[in-house]
Amino acid sequence: MKKKRYHQLALILAVLAVILALGSLIWGERGTVFIAIIPVLLAGMLEQMSKR
């Protein structure tokens, strides 16, 4: 994949993580906030792949 595509996917995952975290906080499911960490980790991995 091209570097630009990795970067775009990483941004999408980061935005998705923010939406998931805010949604879980609004509905009071504090335990599910940690689910939002998964897209952040994937976004970080994609950013590392785009730098190679």
Quick check: 17 and 41 in contact, CB under 8 A?
Answer: no
Structurally, the chain folds into a number of domains equal to 1
User: In terms of residue numbers, what domain contains 41?
Assistant: 3-51
- Provide the whole-model pTM: 0.64
What are 7-46's pLDDT values in tens digits? 788 788 888 878 877 777 777 766 666 777 777 777 778 7
Per-residue model confidence (pLDDT) at position 29: 65
Quick check: 42 and 11 in contact, CB under 8 A?
Answer: no
